Structure 1
Amino acid sequence: MTQPPRLIVVMAFFRSDDGELVPAFDAAEFDSEEQALRTARQLAGNYVGVIAWSREAEPGMDGCGPPTVLFQSGEIPDVE
């Protein structure tokens, strides 16, 4: 049985002048959890918050399953 496709993403955040957490850049997609974890750990010291997460595609449904946090550092907004 083949694994369903997975979305693996790293996002970093900074705090805007009005105090809001905002993305530092567009979400970066990765082919493996190892690559995402390595990148997230490298970014962690440079941003207010960093998160790496993954989601599996749900065959026969429009969309993806719930996110699984792989790495989190600092402050991040809620992940949906």
Structure 2
Amino acid sequence: MADANDHPARLIVVVAFSRADNGQLVPAYDPMQFDTPEDATRMARYLAGKCVGVLAWVRDVQPDVGGYAAPTILFQSGDVPELE
């Protein structure tokens, strides 16, 4: 039987952006976490018609060692900041 710590967890997130009065990109909503890349992509496509920018990404996480893999973009539309 495999232990849950044997495989990294996946963090799947959608972030949508709007513009503040000064032109700065700001989050339109709190970041949303999803269980599957498909669900995240579906939400990101929906938000793309309502926000100036949307980004859906996934990254592997190993909380026991504090490690994160580089994020992989699932969907990107409009103006978004660079991922770190």
Considering the TM-score relative to the shorter chain, is it more than 0.5? yes
**Which residue of structure 2 aligns with residue 42 of structure 1?**
46
Pick the aligned partner of 1:75 from 75, 79, 82. Answer: 79
Q: Which runs of 5 or more residues in structure 1 are unaligned? A: none
- Cα RMSD for the two superposed structures: 1.6
Which of structure 1's runs of 4+ aligned residues deviate more than 4 A? none
> Which of the pair is proportionally richer in helix?
2
Q: How many residues are aligned here?
A: 80
TM-score by length of structure 1 reads 0.91
**Paired residue secondary structure (1:57):** strand
> Which of the pair is proportionally richer in strand?
2
**Paired residue secondary structure (1:26):** coil
Distance 2:82 2:32 in 1: 18
Identity %: 54
Q: Which runs of 5 or more residues in structure 2 are unaligned? A: none
- Give the CA deviation at 1:61: 2.7
Deviations 1:6-63 (A, max 9, x none): 0000000001000100000110000000100100001101000001001101475313
Deviates more, 1:2-11 or 1:27-36: 2-11
